[in-house]
Amino acid sequence: AQSVAQPEDQVNVAEGNPLTVKCTYSVSGNPYLFWYVQYPNRGLQFLLKYITGDNLVKGSYGFEAEFNKSQTSFHLKKPSALVSDSALYFCAVRGSRSNDYKLSFGAGTTVTVRA
Amino acid sequence: GAVVSQHPSRVICKSGTSVKIECRSLDFQATTMFWYRQFPKQSLMLMATSNEGSKATYEQGVEKDKFLINHASLTLSTLTVTSAHPEDSSFYICSAPRQGAEGEKLFFGSGTQLSVL
C-alpha cells in the first residue's frame, strides 16, 4: 500500500518569507513523488516531481522540493512566498512499477500568504 | 494550454436524474484515465481507472452501477452518475497520463462541480 501524510492542514506566512509545506510518504520500492497546486473550483496543476537523480527538484513558479529517502519526506519549498501562492497544495506518491499511474494523495495543505 | 478537457465545469440536477461528465485528452492518446472525487477541503479520492477497450477498474467501496465509466475512444472517457442523490454532490476530477520529453506526467481536467438538489 502507498500513502502520503501532510501533517499541516494550514500554513500561513507573510509575503516575502520562506514557505515550506511538509510531506512524508510510504510506498513499496522506489517512490515517484509529485506536488500539485489547486485553486478554488479548479483542477490540479502540476508543480514538480521526483523520479530519480538529484534530490533537489526545481519546478514551476519558483517552487522546489527535496527528496529525503532516510526520512521518507518530500517537502515543498519556496524561498520567497507571494500572495498569489495562496492555494491548496497536494503531495502525491506512487510506486515505480511501470504503467502504474495510480497516485495516492495527501489530505492537502492550505497555504495563505498575507501581504 | 489545457491538455485534458473536462466538461461540464458545473452541473445542477434534480435527485433521481443521471449526469454525464466527459474527459478528453487533447493532442495525445490516453489508454488510461482516472476519475477522482473530492469533498470540500479534502483530498482527492480515486474512484476508478478507465481503460480503453476494456472494463473500468473500480476502487473498493465505489459502486459500479452508480458510477458508470465508458472509455469510448483513445481520447474520451465518460463518467455517468446514475440516479443521482444529494450525497453524490461533490467535485469530480479526471486525469490522464502522458509521456513526454520530461518523462511521464499526469494531467488533470479542470473538474466538475456536481450539485444534486
pLDDT digits (tens, 9 = 90+) for B45-98: 999 999 998 899 999 999 999 999 999 899 999 999 999 999 999 999 999 988
pLDDT attached to residue A99: 58
Residues of B near A (Cβ–Cβ under 8 Å) read 4, 6, 9, 32, 34, 41-44, 46, 49, 91, 93, 95, 97, 103-111, 113
Nearest beta carbon to residue A43 from set B41, B49, B93: B93
Percent of chain B with pLDDT over 90: 74
**What are the φ/ψ torsions at residue B51 (nearest 5 degrees)?**
-120, 125
Please tell me the distance from the alpha carbon of residue A93 to that of residue B33, in angstroms, as a whole number: 17
Kind of pairing between the strands at B10-13 and B112-116:
parallel
A10-19, A25-34, A89-98: least confident range: A89-98
**C-alpha cell belonging to residue A50:** 521526483
Instruction: Work out the average pLDDT over A45-64.
Output: 92
pLDDT attached to residue B87: 94
Instruction: Work out the average pLDDT over A22-38.
Output: 92
Distance set, CA B110 to CA A44, A103, B1, B30 (Å): 7, 18, 12, 17
CB-CB neighbors (< 8 A) of B103 in chain A = 51
3-state secondary structure of A60: helix
Mind telling me how many Å the CA of A36 is from chain B's nearest CA?
A: 10
With cell 473498493, the residue in question is B60
pLDDT attached to residue B40: 77
3-state secondary structure of A61: helix
CB-CB neighbors (< 8 A) of A90 in chain B = 43-44
Largest CA distance in chain A: 44
- What's chain B's Rg over C-alpha atoms? 14
Kind of pairing between the strands at A109-114 and A10-14:
parallel
pLDDT attached to residue B30: 92
Which amino acid appears at position A109 of this protein? Answer: T
A41-45, A83-87, B11-15: least confident range: A41-45
Q: Which helix (H) or strand (E) holds B103?
A: strand B103-108
Q: What is the mean pLDDT of chain B?
A: 91
